[in-house]
Structure 1
Amino acid sequence: MTSNPHHALVAEYTDAVQHAKIEVVTGLLAEDAVFQSPFSLFDTPEHLRSAYIARAGAFSGLTLRGTVAGQGNQSVLLWTMRVGESPVEVAEVVTTAGERVSRVDVYLRPAAVLDEVFAAMSAAWPR
């Protein structure tokens, strides 16, 4: 799977996210990368870094359940994790451009955890 440059980049990104390697994650992002969550669009290097720090602090038990690799420049990562005691399922669409991640779109379920996720992300946001 990693003979394709997109797949190799997504594999590196996945490992970095799963192990909270913030500097590695942000190093893989394009200069104009965007991160779209259910709560906000993060589109500056400072906000992107803060979003990944908050994500690492807000969730526990991050487990990759599968990857759907497209033929083009998009893949979908399927995660399970916890926020507090609540289970969360996440679909993360990762788009690449060249040798960088250019866009990440995150979808969460169940909807009942959105308030708890927002509170946890806010509490973990770097000050």
Structure 2
Amino acid sequence: MPHSVADLMRRNLLDVFNEPDPERRSAAIAQTYAEDVVWHEPDRVVHGRAALAERATELRAQAPDWTFRTDGPVSVTDDLGHLGFRYGPADQPPVVTGMDIAHCKDGVIIELYTLVTGSPQPS
């Protein structure tokens, strides 16, 4: 059963990037993204589900006690979804804020853009 754009946006943030268990994260990736998904991060472009899974694992390892939280509701226009996020240690103010914008087709994300809108200023 295909997922709605709003569901895909929440799954992307919470079921993939917040999931500490590699098997559950892998299952969520298979259900959320096209095999040839393209993910645009601020500093790189990742191609394909396998590379996205590897990158998600790297991000989890960099800050294992940090969590993503939604920042507002999902916005949907046709096949595009937008969801703001806050990222940082659980139960503390966010260290990073940003948004994900996704182009969806046939119930999966085919292209994802992650934009960072706020982060710590260097001292």
Q: Percent identity?
A: 11
Task: Provide the TM-score with structure 2 as the length reference.
Answer: 0.72
- 2:16 equivalent in structure 1: 17
* Root-mean-square deviation (Å): 2.7
**How far apart are 1:48 and its partner, in Å?**
1.2
Letter in 1 for 2:118: P
**Structure 1: distance between partners of 2:100 and 2:46:** 15
- Aligned positions, number: 110
Between 23-32 and 55-64, report the one with greater CA deviation. Answer: 55-64
- Detail structure 1 runs of 4+ shifted over 4 Å in the superposition: none
Segments of structure 2 that go 5 or more residues without pairing to the other structure are: none
1:82 correspondence with 2:88: yes
**Structure 1: distance between partners of 2:77 and 2:16:** 22
Letter in 1 for 2:5: H
The one of 100, 107, 112 aligned to 1:104: 112
**Structure 1: distance between partners of 2:109 and 2:44:** 18
- Secondary structure of 1:24's match? helix
**Structure 1: distance between partners of 2:14 and 2:118:** 25
Letter in 2 for 1:41: V
1:53 correspondence with 2:57: yes
Segments of structure 1 that go 5 or more residues without pairing to the other structure are: 116-127
- Secondary structure of 2:73's match? strand
- Secondary structure of 2:98's match? strand
Between 55-64 and 36-45, report the one with greater CA deviation. Answer: 55-64
